[in-house]
Amino acid sequence: MKPRILIIYTGGTIGMIEDPATKALRPFDFSHLMENVPKVKMLDYQIDNIQFAPPIDSSDMSPEHWQQIASSISDNYDSYDGFVVLHGTDTMAYTASALSFMLQGLSKPVIITGSQLPIGEVRTDGEENLITALQIAAARAADGRPMVQEVAILFENYLWRGDRSTKRSSDHFNAFKSNNYPYLAKIGLGITYDQDALDRRENKRLKVFTRLDTSVMCIDLFPGLTEATLRHQLAAPDIKGVVLRTYGAGNGPTAPWFLSAVKDACDRGLVLLNVTQCVNGSVHSSRYQAGDLLSATGVISGHDITFEAAITKMMHLFGQGMSRAEVIEALKNPLAGEMTV
């Protein structure tokens, strides 16, 4: 049986062409993509596609689009062996994170890829990324089960867990990285999978969650942040959850005005999640007094979660209509391999 792969083309640079008049890149339609990658036909796969109409720059990605992608996958789950999502790089890590919470218990691959150069360009990275993504989506392990059974980002030389990934470069071909988790596969002459890093648990059952609640926001700490600004941010209307981006191992100012503003917000019912601004490493609230004092206000540790996973996890949890206590409990535990506790 030929592997059956469904490509969901959302837009992004991979499918873009140059507007002859303005020289700016604009989305093109999927037929352009297939015309430019005749090599795809050399893979002996049955490939079908669904296309966003119109394709979008991923800067315009929204929770409604995530619902569209998740539904396309769940509606077609039984008919395909794997899924490849073509996506702009800018918000790819957010989409990968959101999908990992929306499609829990995957036993088939959902591989997200895109490119830094349009697929029509001579030096494009899009052709290679697309072909490798298709091969990974079709790959099976010795036991006959799909090799990858989770949402992952394939980009240039690596396959990363989706909800562990971050875009790290707007210039380089290796544009993504998991700063706190090993790669799932390394792409060189061959594709070498890391069996220990992959989620290959048996007997998983797909559960689809399409409801998301966007009553969330983020606050970045910086020296010079004033009490008035912080209180104003924490008083934003209709907000239920805040990702608080802190220093180092999860530290914030020890000034009483800061701690009382944060405590007031927690007491009022906001859920605050402590995520470090460091690209690598974890929140260790009790390592410094500055972290200890902050956790005493009621802020929860996000451990080594990425910002992208933190904000989308909150959207997912609030979207399930959970109480504040349930959301807090769920934030403390990994849901889809997004953090190490």
Q: Which residues bind ligand ASP (CB under 6 A)?
A: 11-13, 57-59, 88-90, 114, 116
Separation of alpha carbons 307 and 73, rounded Å? 25
Separation of alpha carbons 42 and 101, rounded Å? 34
Separation of alpha carbons 277 and 288, rounded Å? 16
CB atoms within 10 A of CB 136: 24
| 89 carries an active-site annotation | no
Tell the smallest beta-carbon distance from residue 266 to ligand ASP (Å): 35
Catalytic residue of the set 13, 113, 276, 312: 13
Cβ closest to ligand ASP, residue 25 vs residue 43: 25
List phi, psi (to 5°) of 86.
-95, 130
Tokens of 230: 């912080």
* Three-class secondary structure of residue 163 per DSSP: helix
Tell the smallest beta-carbon distance from residue 153 to ligand ASP (Å): 12
Tell the smallest beta-carbon distance from residue 54 to ligand ASP (Å): 13
Residue 60: which region, alpha, beta or left (left: phi > 0; alpha: psi -120 to 50)? alpha
Which residue is associated with the tokens 């996973």?
A: 309
Cβ closest to ligand ASP, residue 44 vs residue 171: 171
| CA atoms within 13 A of residue 327's CA, in its CB half-sphere | 27
Tell the smallest beta-carbon distance from residue 16 to ligand ASP (Å): 7
Cβ closest to ligand ASP, residue 12 vs residue 291: 12
Beta pairing class for 82-86 and 110-113:
parallel
Cβ closest to ligand ASP, residue 114 vs residue 291: 114
Tell the smallest beta-carbon distance from residue 114 to ligand ASP (Å): 5
Cβ closest to ligand ASP, residue 63 vs residue 114: 114
- Report which residue's Cβ sits closest to ligand ASP: 88
* Three-class secondary structure of residue 95 per DSSP: helix
Q: Which residues are catalytic?
A: 13
